[in-house]
Structure 1
């Protein structure tokens, strides 16, 4: 792991929000790709924090402190990505995105949203802790072609299957594609619940969505 990225990672793991912002700004000014910084530094750090919390090695307050520290860096990276975006004109596609019910984590989702918006897509972010019905209602409302859901906690991933079920009940499953991501997901889980795509990283998610719309 390059020094700039490792330093950001370590700062998040130390719950030092001020240092995270300083290091992220310095890394970007030094020419580090903001997408790489997001994926390799900030995202991996928050996944590690989530794993530590799952193993009961840290307390909830520490988990929240790390998330706050990470978000300070995410905001800087998001602004950089959007400021440097050159995609404009007609929107390339409409996507509904959110974190499933019972899960309040938003960092991974926000990363994907930023990258997609920078690439010219319209993203309707319904937020965190959202029931399957809300995903479906919004997809119908905006005529979305992609429904993307994130689950970081294992106990909440079954709610991704509920999204599949509710899309079928609404009669629109054949007209949309679903993509899942988050630490609680896997290719096997995507296959089990019937999701069209699985994205192990934010960049993978963006690339999958781009390829879908290019071929649509």
Structure 2
């Protein structure tokens, strides 16, 4: 499986405000780029925190892109993946509609009744890990279901966890021309953070997009700082 993390951050590296409200960081050109990246993916992954905060739909906006996917024999939208250890995804979340297949990945400790409720609401419930989702196992299970190209859209906790597990192949990062600030505002990679070693990145491309810059990196764990 090939895993691409895509995110938009402020010039000071924030995903949103300390209130965790949506902020328009990029513009129309970057939105179109993200739609193309989704269209090239077999699955789009978020953590449950993103579902709770933003209630995203995670589908393609561009009808032309949906038609292109259908023409090559794919579903109009990529599959949607929610990493949700305890099964907190709301039963009326937009990702649980019938626009696309949705995988909700829970841990074995998740309440069986909650798992059943999520399945009844439209999710294909996958189990990986005991108390918390084991991301390596989860991605293996998704690969068995035909997810070869996986796009990760956040938030900071799940992005850090994927880097920590060594599961990220590329980082596509739009840096917008604004400062959000706030020690409690979410960043690209939250979680516990690295201390002794760090995920190394190889800068592949720098492009001006809208009023910001798109940075594209290959992940090079072998080149991590020690």
Taking structure 1 as the reference length, what is the TM-score of the superposition? 0.32
More helix by share: 1
Q: Whose strand fraction is larger, Structure 1's or Structure 2's? A: 2
Higher relative CO (Cα under 8 Å, sequence separation at least 6) belongs to 2
